[in-house]
Copies of this chain bind each other. A is one copy, B any other.
């Protein structure tokens, strides 16, 4: 196990009606807030009305920024920063899924940043100031409600960049699983795929002797599979929504990855894909991840790689009756692919209407933006190979 620092002070209010804690978390400290959200969905479930009523009752002044779309664009961030400056905003309340929360984090950082917010993610100098923010989660997926990360797109330049800074960790997050009842099957599945991908990228690691992280990861993966089936059959199953929501936060709050080398290659490849084609992040991951796993597995030079895949197959997919390690590992990946098909995740690029992709251009975008592959180092030709197998 490697050394690490765990420092996640986000206060989590989990369960039904936890919105009752909202104003207690804001009023004593801040009086002018920016309310951020996506589309009409928070109005459809009456969440918007509840929030406004609570804010008005306590005379908390608010401005609104809406229309923050999936793969949130830097233009929303610029608009939000402008709005905050004009209204002397002290606190941001993000109501939505990862896109709304990530855009809000970028606005919180950009408020104090002297240049264009797009440059924040490229600078070497650390940003040390941000507006405080809190979240009300409406989609179990990215883990942004309890992590220091954000991903912002620049649609104009067809780019997507991720960034992490502990100063944007939410002060509090309200997690009421009933807010996710109305999430569509497609988005629910994409969320589950995203959660599982976060877990995988920390689980499949070359760092040895990390039983504590790995056994937790295996437990969370099993939770995703168990409740993944249930939630597709019954979208208003509270237990399923609750367990998935809790898992989304635990998947990326440091619990699994701290103390281990990590590998975000699949996420990074997917970011290039959704930057260019604006597909749902989880859909892209569903297509790329099993291919990427197989690609790593084919490299037989590192025995730790094979062991990890065998562990996954045995402990998570309960494959016991095959005796050859490589066969077990392959059966594990196939079982994962089958689970995803059962819940309706896409399997190949054509399933999300990407028919004749420019592999070379996509690979360039991955390589330019990130160093790639902690588990097995990937070069441009590897990325093209993986993408071609996804077609």
A interface residues, Cβ below 8 angstroms from B? 1-7, 9, 11-18, 21, 208-212, 214-220, 222-223, 226-227, 238-239, 242-243, 246-247, 250, 255, 258-259
List 22 contacting pairs A-B, 8 Å CB cutoff, sorted by A. A1-B239, A3-B15, A3-B16, A3-B18, A4-B12, A4-B15, A6-B11, A7-B11, A9-B9, A14-B258, A209-B242, A209-B243, A212-B243, A212-B247, A215-B218, A215-B220, A215-B222, A215-B223, A216-B216, A216-B220, A217-B219, A218-B219
Nearest B residue to A215, CB-CB: B219
The answer to whether A212 touches B216 (Cβ under 8 A) is no
Query: Per a CB cutoff under 8 Å, which of B1, B215, B243 touches A242?
Result: B1
- For the complex of A and B, the 4 pairs showing the least CB-CB separation, nearest first, are A3-B15, A215-B219, A209-B239, A9-B9
The answer to whether B18 touches A14 (Cβ under 8 A) is no
Which B residues touch A6, using CB under 8 A? 11-12, 14
Query: Per a CB cutoff under 8 Å, which of B210, B222, B238, B259 touches A211?
Result: B222
Which B residues touch A242, using CB under 8 A? 1, 209, 259
Which B residues touch A11, using CB under 8 A? 5-7
Given known A-B contacts A222-B215, A243-B212, A4 and B14 have beta carbons under 8 A apart: yes
The answer to whether B18 touches A12 (Cβ under 8 A) is no
The answer to whether B15 touches A211 (Cβ under 8 A) is no
A227–B214 alpha-carbon span in the complex (Å) = 13
Nearest B residue to A213, CB-CB: B246
A15–B18 alpha-carbon span in the complex (Å) = 36
A9–B12 alpha-carbon span in the complex (Å) = 11
Nearest B residue to A21, CB-CB: B5
Which B residues touch A220, using CB under 8 A? 212, 215-216
Extra pairs beyond A9-B9, A212-B220, A215-B220 (18, CB < 8 Å): A1-B15, A1-B242, A2-B15, A3-B15, A5-B14, A7-B11, A7-B12, A208-B239, A209-B239, A209-B243, A212-B243, A212-B247, A216-B219, A216-B250, A217-B219, A219-B219, A246-B259, A250-B255
Nearest Cβ on chain B to A258's Cβ, whole angstroms: 7
Which B residues touch A208, using CB under 8 A? 239
Which B residues touch A3, using CB under 8 A? 14-18
Which one of A9, A211, A219, A226 has the highest number of Cβ atoms from chain B below 10 Å of its Cβ? Answer: A211
Nearest Cβ on chain B to A216's Cβ, whole angstroms: 5
Given known A-B contacts A11-B5, A11-B6, A243 and B16 have beta carbons under 8 A apart: no
A127–B3 alpha-carbon span in the complex (Å) = 36
Which one of A6, A13, A17, A210 has the highest number of Cβ atoms from chain B below 10 Å of its Cβ? Answer: A6
A83–B11 alpha-carbon span in the complex (Å) = 34
Which B residues touch A211, using CB under 8 A? 222-223, 226-227, 243
A163–B5 alpha-carbon span in the complex (Å) = 28
